[in-house]
Amino acid sequence: MSTDDREIEVYRDPAFAPGDKVISKKNVKNDGTMAGKEIGETVVRKGDEGYVRDIGVFLQQFYIYAVDFVGRGSIVGMRERELTPADPDRTRLTGSSDLQSHIVTRPEKEPAQ
């Protein structure tokens, strides 16, 4: 796969953030990477709604969004071009520090006395 004619997405901020509600633009079939599903089985249908859980990088070029399709009970890795925001008025991330906003820190427990 040549990237000569494609944008290298990681040179800019991701289009979605963890917690964003998104809609699938296409049907997605299992390519063999989803345990418990048959190869070729449809795991996401066009129009399914889900929530971005995490963001990864593939080939140091593309963002992969782990989308939790709650209604289907599956988490599927999807590209930006396969998704559209459920809220068209939402704004794009403003900086890379926004990516860490989903991490919850817990205070240290007091030692037992």
pTM of the model: 0.70
Question: pLDDT tens digits for the chain (113 residues)?
Answer: 555 557 787 888 888 899 999 999 999 898 888 888 889 888 899 999 999 999 988 888 889 999 999 888 888 899 888 898 988 776 555 444 444 444 444 555 666 65
35 and 29 Cβ atoms separated by less than 8 Å: no
Q: What CA–CA distance (Å, rounded) separates 104 from 99? A: 12
* Closest C-alpha among 77, 73, 75 to residue 64: 77
Task: Quote the mean pLDDT of the chain.
Answer: 78
Q: How far is CA 75 from CA 13, 67, 69, in A?
A: 22, 5, 6
Over the stretch 71-102, which tens digit does the pLDDT of each residue have?
888 888 998 888 989 887 765 554 444 444 44
- pLDDT for position 104: 44
